[in-house]
Amino acid sequence: MRKQRQRDAVWKFLTYSFVIVMTLGMMVPLYWMMVAATLPQEEFLQFPPRLYPGTAFFDNLAVLHEETDFLISIWNSVFIAVVYTVLSVLLCSMAGFAFAKYEFRFKEPIFYTILATLILPIQLLVIPLFLMMSQIGWTDTFRAIIIPWLANPIGIFLMRQNMKSIPDALLESARMDGATEFQIFYRIALPAMRSSVAALAIILFLFQWDLFLYPLVILEDSANYTIPVALSGLEESRRVNFDQIMVASSLAIIPMAILFLILQKQFVSGILAGSLKE
């Protein structure tokens, strides 16, 4: 018994040590990015590197604002990601509810066909979507960035798995009380899935926030650029503005960090709930 406890203690120590080392390995680049955002260009390039924050953050931010439209790009990304997240969460929730609680012809083939689209890389879809957006006159518009990705297979799968946990008897009693199908979805199913909705919102927001290749092809005017596209334009042909890149990168992660800190408990519980449903 004593040897078993010792082995458990050693295993726990090794596990925690591994987790700590991996966490530090992921945090060090983020810390260096934050520090570099506060340094002028000449201090950024010095060796040995400075490991504590400087005082040039607002100076670098002012230069970034004067020389680029990056602050406009932040607003563009926030607007696109928020609108996309709201619409996609609603659409995926409705689709998940339908697949979980209704019977219709070819339900299973349709569902698994949707899941099969996960194997298609975004790069494969960029050219067909660009041609489609060009034909309908949507190039260089926000709706071309939002609408093609609304039906997210991961979102539909996650909501379907969680919607299965809602008792059918509860829905039947609501129908007997005269509730419409939309009222059942909006007033019963959706509130019961708050954790799953929060988890899905983070996943979808992050997907749209990080989307790069497709907006790079679709967007032409720099005033419409999203953050990833604007970041790619900060590297000039003869000079790399490290100070501007670090400030822009630091600003780019702030909204996602805030969103995750607010919804982290709901995110974890929503993901776990979806993984436990049959």
pLDDT tens for each residue of the chain, 278 residues long: 666 777 777 788 888 889 898 988 888 888 878 887 777 777 777 777 777 777 777 877 887 777 778 888 889 999 999 999 999 999 999 999 899 888 888 888 999 998 898 888 888 889 999 999 999 989 989 999 999 999 889 889 988 888 888 888 888 888 888 888 888 888 888 888 887 888 888 889 989 998 988 999 999 888 889 988 888 877 654 456 777 788 888 888 887 778 777 776 766 665 565 554 44
Task: Name the DSSP class of 140.
Answer: T
66 in a domain, yes or no? yes
99 in a domain, yes or no? yes
pLDDT value, residue 134: 92
3 in a domain, yes or no? no
SS3 of 125, please?
helix
116 in a domain, yes or no? yes
Sign of CA dihedral 155, 157, 162, 163: positive
Helices 70-101 and 242-276, axial angle in degrees (round to 10): 10
Beta bridge partners of 118: none
Q: What is the pTM of this model?
A: 0.81
SS3 of 235, please?
strand
Residue 103 domain boundaries: 58-276
CA distance 91 to 85: 10
25 in a domain, yes or no? no
pLDDT value, residue 274: 52
What's the CATH number where 119 sits? 1.10.3720.10
| Number of domains the chain is built from | 1
Both tokens assigned to 65: 């604002």
CA distance 228 to 122: 15
CA distance 26 to 55: 25
37 in a domain, yes or no? no
128 in a domain, yes or no? yes
pLDDT value, residue 2: 67
pLDDT value, residue 113: 92
